[in-house]
Chain A
Amino acid sequence: MEKCGEFGIDYASQGNVALEKLQQQKIDLVVTDLVMPGMDGLELVATVRGQHPNIPVVLMTSKGTEEIAVRALHAGAASYVPKRLMSQELVETVRRVLAVASRHQVKARLLNCMTEQQCSFVLSNDVDLIESLIAYLQDIACQMDLCEEADVTRIGVALEEALVNALYHGNLEVGSELRGENDEAYYALVAQRRNESPYRDRKIFVRATFTRQEATFVVRDEGPGFDLSKLPDPDDPSALERACGRGLLLMRAFMDEVSYDATGSSVTLVKRRKAEPMPSENR
């Protein structure tokens, strides 16, 4: 690598020395042996991944360490080069990994310039799709730097309540009164209506809009809607023992704004950013 003259190279005698250098200098990539005194290559990969997720690590592997190399790749190593092929492959591997890392960094900078993102979905009454959609929307909330990790989970809990309402109570028209009282009947009715017209043909419509200031989610079902005023008063102790209304309480607790349309079949959830948005480039 020194011979090709393309790279400035610094050396570390062991893993913890490498980590100190990463703290002190701007390093673009780490090449490491698997077997080292003190911290081994596997531990170094995991630590670099945790502390410097944008710095790729390339492993040098020798015969008999292939299994550990696979574990290192799982732990986040970018690539590996067998020691016996180092003279032919190391430079090319480093070039390739640096090129990929550079593209990722530019993409991260680009996404940091994004001011708004919108997406819409039309879902069948499929639980797997709902789970996947929640994870997807949580990822965008992270990408837009809207909230800390705990708030991402809160968004997930609130969205799940809204989507579960749309699916079971909205489209399938299965009331929550059965839940907790007669679960067998509840699930039997869910299964029956999943295959029965008109319930099975109904869709869930989701529209999400993310800005640097807030995320807005609109969840609409094709059921008959409900009368919000008929929900029990959450502050009435006797209401606690009943099964309905808890989902709405959780939505209200974890979102900044929750509102239903007049029919009760469309709910809008808003989560606002707590702190001022980070200044993005080109603005």
Chain B
Amino acid sequence: MANASYFPVHLQGNVLVVMPTGPISNLSGQEVQIEWEQVLDHVHRGESRHVLIDMKEVTFFGSVFLGALNAMWKQGRQHNGRMALCNLSPLASEILHAARFDTLWEIYPTREDALKALTS
């Protein structure tokens, strides 16, 4: 993942921190998908228990990225892990709310808040 350009990741304890670098449009090419699958592999291999998606750099996104996040959430759940999101822009919050995911996923205002919750 050293050359990750869309989804740079690093491990913080047993939390995989993913910081997507926008824009991640529905029309983004397959290379975005391939990179996302590498992130999913991290979780699948059990290298980290929980996943934190820091959305600081992503202003908005569409249903395709929602689908990708959902796949991540389901994958984590299979390994008894949790997924959380933080630093959502107002529009990103609206998108999650519109798609009803704000009731399903853990959402925190800051990275510190999210890490504290995931590691507590």
**Cβ-neighbour of B63 out of A131, A181, A235, A246 (below 8 A):** A246
Is the CB–CB distance between A243 and B94 below 8 Å? Answer: no
**In the complex, A250 Cα to B74 Cα: how many Å?**
21
Tally of B interface residues using CB under 8 Å: 28
Contact with A along B75-111 (1 / 0, CB 8 A): 0000000000000001100110111110010000000
A153 touches B91 (CB 8 A): yes
Q: Does B68 contact A (CB under 8 A)?
A: yes
Binding site for A on B (CB under 8 A): 25-27, 29-30, 33, 37, 59-60, 62-64, 66-68, 70-71, 74, 90-91, 94-95, 97-101, 104
A261 to B64: give the CA distance in the assembly, Å.
24
Collect the chain B residues with CB atoms within 8 Å of residue A249's CB: 63, 98-100
B63 near A180 with CB under 8 A, answer no
CB of A140 within 8 Å of the partner chain: no
- The answer to whether B62 and A161 touch across the interface, beta carbons within 8 angstroms, is yes
Taken together as a complex, chains A and B put the C-alpha atoms of A176 and B26 apart, in Å, by: 13
**Interface residue tally for chain A (C-beta within 8 Å):** 29
* Interface of A (DSSP majority class): helix
Of A183, A252, A253, the contact of B94 (CB 8 Å cutoff): A253
A160 B26 Cβ-Cβ under 8 A: yes
Over the window 160-179 of chain A, the binary record of Cβ atoms lying under 8 Å from chain B Cβ atoms (1 yes, 0 no) is: 11001000000000001001
Contacts of A154 in B (CB 8 A): 91, 94
Chain B CB within 8 A of A130 CB: yes
Q: Mark A110-139, 1 if CB is under 8 A from B, else 0.
A: 000000000000000001001100000000
Q: How far is the CA of A252 from the CA of B98 in the complex (A)?
A: 8
- Complex: how many Å from CA A157 to CA B94? 12
Q: Per-residue CB proximity of A180-199 to B under 8 Å, as 1/0?
A: 11010001000000000000
Indicate if the CB atoms of A253 and B27 lie closer than 8 Å: no
User: Is B60 a contact of A164 with CB atoms below 8 Å?
Assistant: no
Q: What 10 A-B pairs have minimum CB-CB distances, sorted nearest first?
A: A253-B98, A246-B63, A180-B71, A247-B63, A180-B67, A164-B26, A127-B27, A246-B99, A187-B30, A160-B26
